Amino acid sequence: MTPSYVEAGKDFRRDMKYLSDRITRTSSEWPVEPGRYRLVAARACPWANRAIIVRQLLGLEDALSMGLCGPVHDEDSWTFDLDPGGVDPVLGYKRLQEAYLARDPDYARGITVPAIVDIPTGAVVTNDFPWITHDLFFEWREFHRPDAPDLWPADQREEMQEVMDRVFTEVNNGVYRCGFAGSQRAYDKAYDRLFAALDWLEERLAHRRYLMGDAITEADIRLFTTLARFDAVYHGHFKCNRTKLSEMPVLGAYARDLFQTPAFGENIDFDQIKRHYYLVHEDINPSGVVPKGPLESWWSEPHGRESV
């Protein structure tokens, strides 16, 4: 049995209760320690995709290992079906659920990615996705590569937080409000909010290359993982169909610019993305048919953003 995401007659509400432990330099329980932890993620999931991109941008591959789940999960767990024998080679698990139960045998909430697992105990430390990428930047600095980007520039953090909050509520979560709306009223409201935000982003990016100016920040990563799924999934599957990303001149070029940047496009797998959404969401795609398009060649076309 697959989970149901649509509640008849209701707006979509995201459960934002996560395991709130953090891995920090000063923690006595979960100190930053290279080789101790494993990031478990999935290229199909936009929230996990953030952590994958940040880990590579910062050069943390040697300090923090990574396990990848397959794109299709059941109501209980993400699984390691991409690995030989369907077993994560470091944790020895077939199902991510095993790491959650090692943390709490009575754990009854969602089994989500990204999750960071303590390898010695096999237990999940945290699945709080906004804090995971935040702490990879601030707490793991000793292990960043020398030329790692400044994803949280000090003089822009206040404005950047405001931008990220709006991107999360109106875009990252906005597409889900459309896709999982339980009534026409809920869908219409969600649709209008989403495209108002996308129009705002078109305007904001018309005269700056990235969301905060001339350098990539955490804000761009958080927006990118939604944009990368827009035409392939959200436009049709989630009924976000006023305009395709490829029809938005500024936002489309901005997304291609990021896609062609190391650590971004190479961590996008459109086949996994489509299989995840179209196969897992049986309540809105009961046939289980996965679309063949759109053409991926658009992502490699010139973007012209160097002149912005």
pLDDT digits (tens, 9 = 90+) for 105-120: 999 999 999 999 999 9
Rounded distance, CA 94 to CA 81, Å?
8
- 15's tokens: 């459960």
* Minimum mean pLDDT range among 14-28, 50-64, 192-206: 14-28
pLDDT digits (tens, 9 = 90+) for 76-97: 899 999 999 999 999 999 999 9
Rounded distance, CA 308 to CA 303, Å?
11
What average pLDDT is seen over the chain?
A: 96
**Residues identified as active-site:** 45, 176
Contacts by 184-187, CB closer than 8 A, 24 or more apart: 186/10, 186/11, 186/12, 187/239
Rounded distance, CA 261 to CA 275, Å?
25
> Residue 66 burial (CB < 10 Å; 0-12/13-18/19+)?
middle
Residue the block writes with tokens 């960071």: 116
Whether residue 3 has pLDDT greater than 70: no
- 93's tokens: 């698990």
The reply, when asked if residue 30 is annotated as ligand binding, is no
Whether residue 74 has pLDDT greater than 50: yes
* Domains of the chain and CATH, by start: 37-143 (3.40.30.10), 154-307 (1.20.1050.10)
Rounded distance, CA 247 to CA 243, Å?
6
The proportion of the chain whose per-residue pLDDT surpasses 90, expressed as a percent, equals 93
pLDDT score for 5:
74
pLDDT score for 4:
53
- For the beta sheet containing 37-41, the strands, ordered from the edge strand earlier in sequence to the opposite edge, are 65-68, 37-41, 115-118, 123-126
pLDDT score for 6:
73
Average pLDDT over residues 220-246: 98
pLDDT digits (tens, 9 = 90+) for 165-183: 999 999 999 999 999 999 9
114 within 8 A of 40, measured Cβ to Cβ? yes
Rounded distance, CA 169 to CA 151, Å?
21
pLDDT score for 1:
32
